[in-house]
């Protein structure tokens, strides 16, 4: 099931963006990261946010859209996404960021 959300602002993102400056804490939106994202990880995150905002959902649809957009998988550098490879990549990124947070604490 997909829903059209084009043109609708992301309220949470807007609040976090404003708060980081109001509170003098530009790191606030990234407080759970133990390290900065790589350029490929940022590109994947941005693409996923764009796809979710446009109403794309579900692993098969997301994988197809990432492949169509040519978004590279951070671990392989290839854009040959499948639902399984997307799940594996997200699990690996989450585990790596969790490990970095456990080792380094607050990051970003």
For the stretch 30-72, pLDDT in tens is 556 677 889 999 999 999 999 999 999 999 999 999 999 999 9
Q: Which token pair is 48?
A: 């996923």
pTM over 0.75: no
- In the chain, pLDDT over 70 holds for what percent of residues? 66
Q: Which of 3, 34, 33 is nearest to 104 (CA)?
A: 34
40 burial (CB, 10 Å; 0-12 / 13-18 / 19+) is middle
d(CA 55, CA 52): 5
Domain boundaries, the chain: 37-103
d(CA 46, CA 37): 11
């Amino acid at each position: 099931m997909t829903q059209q959300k084009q043109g609708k602002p992301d309220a949470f993102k807007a609040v976090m963006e404003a708060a980081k400056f109001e509170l003098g804490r530009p790191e606030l939106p990234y407080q759970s990261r133990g390290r900065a994202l790589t350029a490929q990880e940022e590109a994947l995150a941005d693409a996923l946010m764009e796809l979710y905002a446009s109403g794309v959902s579900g692993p098969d649809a997301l994988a197809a859209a990432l492949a169509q957009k040519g978004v590279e998988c951070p671990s392989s550098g290839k854009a040959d996404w499948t639902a399984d490879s997307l799940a594996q990549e997200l699990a690996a990124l989450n585990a790596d960021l969790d490990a970095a947070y456990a080792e380094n604490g607050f990051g970003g």
